[in-house]
Amino acid sequence: MFVQEMTPDQCFALLAQEHVARLACTHAGKAYVVPIQYVLAGHRIYSFSMLGQKILWMRQNPEVCVQADRVEDAHHWKSVVANGHYHEVPDIKGHHDGHMRAWSLLQSRTNWWEPGGYQPRPHAADGKPVFFFIEVHEVTGRMAAESGE
């Protein structure tokens, strides 16, 4: 098995292909990692969440890390780590268009399974999801293949 570095283009191609990743954030010297469902648009990772620990932490420290992978088997896999900056897309005056763009992007993915996340329903009575994107400023990846492939 050969393990080799991926180019940034290869990394973004994997991020575009996948829709589940792990998002890590940090606060007061502690780390927190949870799965997210996302959509890549350009160099932005769009996602949403109900208000909770990760949103509260990312509001305090927007420097986050996202990891995604595609594993065929033990000898054929790709894994990407993206460092980026958290930006919230609130549904308020001046941000409404951005909010609806995020909503529209995310709505195109239907297999929501994020723990703690639910089908986003703007203006739902039981609390509105928080829409956000991670602006990726650094991406690295590794992939493995059999010798000679």
CB of 123: closest distance to its own copies in angstroms? 21
Which residue has tokens 């991020």? 15
Nearer to its own copies, 67 or 91 (CB): 67
Nearer to its own copies, 100 or 118 (CB): 118
Report yes or no: 112 and 118 within 8 Å, Cβ to Cβ: yes
Nearer to its own copies, 2 or 96 (CB): 2
CB of 44: closest distance to its own copies in angstroms? 18
Task: Find all residues with CB under 8 Å of 40, minimum gap 6, and list them.
Answer: 12, 15, 16, 46
- The residue ranges that bind its own copies (CB under 8 A) are 3, 22-26, 29-35, 61, 63-67, 69, 71, 73-75, 77, 79, 81, 83, 110-113, 115-116, 118, 142, 144
Query: Would you list the DSSP string of 3-15?
Result: EEEPPHHHHHHHH
CB of 134: closest distance to its own copies in angstroms? 11
Nearer to its own copies, 3 or 124 (CB): 3
Distance CA 13, CA 34 (A): 22
Please give the sequence-ordered ranges of beta strands (E in DSSP) within the chain, or none if there are none.
2-5, 20-27, 30-37, 39-41, 44-49, 63-73, 76-88, 130-145
Nearer to its own copies, 33 or 100 (CB): 33
CB of 112: closest distance to its own copies in angstroms? 6
CB of 61: closest distance to its own copies in angstroms? 6
Q: Burial code of 70-99, b = ≥16 C-beta within 10 A, e = fewer?
A: eeeeeeebbbbbbebebebbebeeeeeebb
